[in-house]
Structure 1
Amino acid sequence: MYEEESDGPKGTFEIYKAEADTLYKQGEYRKAIESYTTALEIQDGDKNCLVARSKCHLQLGDTTTALADAELSLDDDKSFHKGIFQKAEALYYQGDFEMALVFYHRGCKLRPELQEFRLGIQKAQEAIDNSVGSAEKCKLSTAGDLSFFTNQDEKQKKRKPGMGTFGRPVVQQKEKRKVSRSQGSEKTVKQLLGELYGDRKYLEKLLKETADASSETGKSIFDLVEEGLSYLDTRTDFWRQQKPMYARKHERMQQHRSKRQEPQSKGGSPNAYIISELEKIDQAQGDCKYKDSLARAQKCLKTVEGYSADTLTNRDEVVANLHSCMGNSYLELGQYGKALEQHQIDLNIGEETNNEECISRGLDNVGRVHARSGNFQKAIGVWNRKLPMSKSALENTWLYHEVGRCHLELTQYTEARHFGEKSLVAAEEAEDLMWQLQASVLLAQSQVKLNELQSALESFEKALDLAKLQGDKAAESAIQKAIIDVNKRIAREVKEKENQEETNPETESQSASSLTTEATTETQNAEEN
């Protein structure tokens, strides 16, 4: 489709993708899908674009297509963490909680510092527990259970003639179902949908009214209503799988029993409360509301500390996570001492429980606090401990870059250049343009300090190309100014060298003249004597 336009201006792919990103934020998911599809026709197989389109399909309730796009994003790179997370999300919303849990764990192993994978593990585990119950409560015996077959026999006896699995009655049932879409008892559907149940009843009524419509408008309304009902049916099935009615009833009974014994969240299990609070804490930090995030984390920590180990099996992990969240808030508020204290607690819990994820996250954050507070040598020491634990090229490029920045601040320019080179190699291996840009700038700055101006110029020019490719105008402007400064220094050095070369012949001539004068004087003195 775009082969004839391949010689057109660069950035067409970026334009379509940016347009799609904007439409997604505005909730125009169908239009966003169209723009993402157009972008993919220009740049086939772009991983980030496929993940973004998958998110749109997921918002529309099309979990099958969302899963297909997520899997496509992993074709060339099985360790692409965004694709792994999106695949886990698609599987989760399909009701395949076990496989979703597998991919949440896989992503967490690759990128343990990301909150989204930890939240995914918790919600998938809770959904599995709600669906099948805890393994500890399941007691098997050799007696067996024939109730399933007994119930089947009773159903066979009660079955009316003409309602079998063959013949016209099945077709009639199918046609009737197209208008009346109730799944299970109305009471169950009402409990599962909650406030959406009123919308469902309205759509069902509208569906009956437009079922025999012959006009184009009537048919269009019928199709839209069908689509809306299909979405609600999908959500009903998902919520039924995620937390069946018996699990909801059991949960209410458990809450009633433990109301006076354990501090509970309002209207939910401990896991549900914790997941909800962690999401709100993360959202507050994303919105730069660090005081709100801190207050919520402190309140949640007090609640979690009131739970017993039996009620919350991963209590230590949750406590460590909350200390980490508090440390991040203190860091952004400029309270470095308190931030260091919280992140050190997170690290200590990880070391005490031998939790590699907590240790890795703690080292990351302790290093960040030291760097932000100007203790660059301490930051280098902490991050050097973290380096052997790194599991991906992307994590390596970030660590190498941060260590290199610390060396640059300490005027250790040779070491800074060394880590800049390592960061660039890792970024190219990870195929991450943003970190390639950061590494190139660090390398160029180190080379300028070492007076390797020609090499610095080449590094800055590479960084400029990467900034243009990403549409980062601020980076472009800063790099262009740096290139101008380097060119001026190169020109100044060349001019100084030329001036020295012009000065040298005159100096040599003057030296020769003085030697001749001295020789003449000596000759005259000899003749007089």
Structure 2
Amino acid sequence: MSETREDLQQKRPQSFSTLVSAGKQLLHKREYRRAQSSFTAILDLKPEDKECLIGRSNCYLNTGQLQNALRDAELSLKHDKSFPEGVYQKAKVLFYMGEFEFSLVFYHRGQSIRTQMQCFTLGIKKAQEAIKNAVGDSTNVKLKVGGDLSFLENEEARLRPISVVENLMEEEKNEAPKSFRIEKATKHLMGDFVDHKKFLEDLMKDEDLMKEKTKSGEQVQDIIQDSLVSIETYIEICNQENIVAPQEKKPQHQEVKHSTTSKFKEFPLKTLREIDAALESGNAENSLKKAKGVLKFVERRSKTEFPHKKLLLGSLHSSIGNALLYQGELDKALEHHQKELDLAEQCKLPEAKSRALDNLGQTYAQSGNFAEAIELWKKRIPLVPSGLEKVWLLHEIGCFYLQLHRYEEAKEYAILSVAEAAEIPDVKWKMNASVLMAQSELRLGNFKSSVSHFETALVHARLQDDDSALNAIQKALEEAKQHIRK
């Protein structure tokens, strides 16, 4: 009889902290899907665990699932409205949703709870700057943070942020209409770029010109399209970061340069999150377009503006390669992932190199070149710390050897996967490693050993209440037993 979740909760209390640690590690490595799975696994057993809710909220935030991120942040505050990490997470999610006024309120609330937490002070400053960019100089607006703000928990209020926050704001003097201010700011920031963009868009309508090629063999259409992407990216960066376009710079060169450099340093992480979020949501075309535009933009900047330029370029090549892989353009994906690996080796950063090797391996695997994928992933093994990631890596290498009918090598990596899985609490991967071991032994004709490993896998499947896995393993177990009876 399978164990209930309550039985597992009482039997293995140590596994919770291990799962949380695994989730945090995956989150730190930007493995958002796997981190989310890890946090979800423990939330199935402890639905109100605040630490896991915050962790999963961050996973949702980094994959563009903002409503889910907000929901988990609010759940962490369900029984304790003064939980500082929950207040901070809610403020942060609201900021990324564009609800800057609400975000500011919760940053203020967090600061009143924990004055020593610097993140609230920084959050207040960031939200105030965002409001200033959106509606004008914040000196013209005062936000009341006193009194009962419990109405902000109301769902209807959250869906009508502007009308609600208007009750908290006092206008000290008349302002220009918002649409006029935005139009004026856009003209100031964009300079001649809007005109250049229109000119290129008009050229794109010339069908005969688009068929032409340069002396070097490049399509004119591709060149113009790349230029459009670069201009659109620059315009977007200027809009987001309030950077003055080169031809609009003031005479105070030193001051403007410092300000612009500071802004350049701030935008990459946010942009990378947007690129990854687009791909996570299935919009590979938008992710690819944005990543290519940012890549061209960064390539033209100096190391002064981007001190970690090579690392940033590596991340962008990674995003482009993943988007191309999603679209099935495997050869182009390989080119970008190879550039990602080259840059990672130049930077001498093990994590970046590990990611690049993983991406290259995934691309070769999708093309059916399992031997090349194996060789790349073997190089990854020393770069991956013990834990869930290593179990998965060893398991995948073993599976590919199985596909290539190299059963001795498959068994070798199955043994390593089983040993690594024994050190972690994840029952699913204990099961997967045991199944690989059983399949390898079966192909080698070691039927008794195969039966033993299938039986071990069956135990792990029962612990998960995984009916589909249970049925598949039982069927494989019966087939293995038939070999013994012969």
Q: TM-score, normalised by structure 1?
A: 0.50
Distance 1:487 1:47 in 2: 46
Partner of 1:316: 310
Q: What does the per-residue CA deviation read over 1:330-383, in whole Å, with 9 as the maximum and x for residues that have no partner?
A: 223332211211110000011123233322211122222223323233222222
Q: Residues of 2 paired with 1:476 and 1:341: CA distance?
A: 41
When structure 1 is superposed on structure 2, of 481-490 and 445-454 the one drifting more is 481-490
CA distance in 1, matches of 2:271, 2:348: 25
Partner of 1:245: none
Counterpart in the other structure of 2:360: 366
Paired AA for residue 73 in structure 2: L
Instruction: Look up the equivalent residue of 1:40 and give its one-letter code.
Output: K
Give 1:432 deviation, angstroms.
2.3
Aligned to 2:73: 58
Counterpart residue identity of residue 341, structure 1? E
1:98-497 maps to which residues of 2 (within 5 A)?
A: 191=132, 224-225=150-151, 263=234, 265-269=237-241, 270-491=264-485, 493=486
The one-letter code of the counterpart of 2:389 is E
Distance 2:51 2:416 in 1: 24
Question: How high is the sequence identity, in percent, across the aligned residues?
Answer: 28
Root-mean-square deviation (Å): 5.2
Q: Map Cα deviations across residues 437-460 of structure 1 (whole Å, 9 max, x no partner).
A: 221221111011012222222322
Paired AA for residue 383 in structure 2: M
SS at match of 1:429: coil
Native 8 Å contact 2:189 2:239 kept in 1: no
State the partner residue of 2:91: none
Structure 1 segments unaligned to the other structure (5+ residues): 1-6, 18-35, 70-90, 102-123, 132-186, 208-221, 237-252, 494-529
CA contact (8 A) 2:442 2:450 kept: yes
2:46 alignment partner in structure 1? 40
- Judging changes above 3 Å, is the alpha-carbon distance between structure 1 residues 223 and 346 closer, same or farther for their aligned structure 2 residues? closer
CA distance in 1, matches of 2:445, 2:2: 40
Would the aligned equivalents of 1:203 and 1:225 in 2 still touch at CA under 8 Å? no
Judging changes above 3 Å, is the alpha-carbon distance between structure 1 residues 458 and 8 closer, same or farther for their aligned structure 2 residues? closer
Show structure 2 runs of 5+ residues with no match. 10-15, 17-41, 59-68, 88-106, 166-184, 194-230, 242-263
Deviation at 1:308, TM superposition (A): 2.6
Partners of 2:455 and 2:467 lie apart in 1 by 15
| Bigger RCO (CA 8 Å, 6+ sep) | 2
Which of the pair has more CA radius of gyration? 1
In structure 2, what is the equivalent of residue 510 of structure 1?
Answer: none
| CA displacement at 1:309 relative to structure 2 | 2.2
Taking structure 1 as reference, are residues 268 and 378 closer, same or farther at Cα in structure 2, changes over 3 Å only?
Answer: same
1:274 to 1:68, Cα distance in 2 relative to 1, 3 A: closer
For 1:66-118, what per-residue CA distance to the aligned partner results, in whole angstroms no more than 9, with x for missing partners?
A: 7499xxxxxxxxxxxxxxxxxxxxx9x9689x9999xxxxxxxxxxxxxxxxx
Distance 1:192 1:424 in 2: 55
> Contact 2:399–2:436 at 8 Å: present in 1 too?
yes
Contact map agreement 1:428 1:436 (CA 8 A) in 2: yes
Q: For residues 10-29 of structure 1, what are the structure 2 equivalents within 5 Å?
A: 10-11=4-5
What is the aligned partner in structure 1 of residue 36 from structure 2? Answer: none
Describe the SS at the equivalent of 1:461.
helix
Distance 1:314 1:479 in 2: 49
Q: Cα offset for 1:304?
A: 2.4
Q: Secondary structure at the match of 1:268?
A: helix
Q: Which amino acid aligns with 1:65?
A: F
- The answer on whether the counterparts of 2:324 and 2:333 sit within 8 Å (CA) in structure 1 is yes
Which whole-Å CA distance do the structure 1 matches of 2:370 and 2:344 have between them?
A: 24
Distance 2:471 2:4 in 1: 19
> Structure 2: how far apart are the matches of 1:370 and 1:329?
15
The 2-side partners of 1:192 and 1:64 are apart by 30
Between the aligned partners of 1:38 and 1:301, the Cα distance in structure 2 is: 40
In structure 2, relative to structure 1, the CA distance for the partners of 1:335 and 1:480 (3 Å cut) is: farther
Q: Is the 8 A contact 2:190 2:238 kept in 1?
A: no
Query: Contact 1:13/1:39 (CA < 8 Å) preserved in 2?
Result: no
- Return closer, same or farther for 1:462/1:418 CA change in 2, 3 Å cut-off: same
Distance 1:423 1:14, change over 3 A: same
Q: Contact 2:391 / 2:420 at 8 angstroms: preserved in 1?
A: yes
Name the TM-score, length of structure 2 as normaliser.
Answer: 0.54
Separation in 1, partners of 2:83, 2:418: 35
Equivalent residues, number: 328
CA–CA distance in structure 1, aligned partners of residues 405 and 388 of structure 2? 26
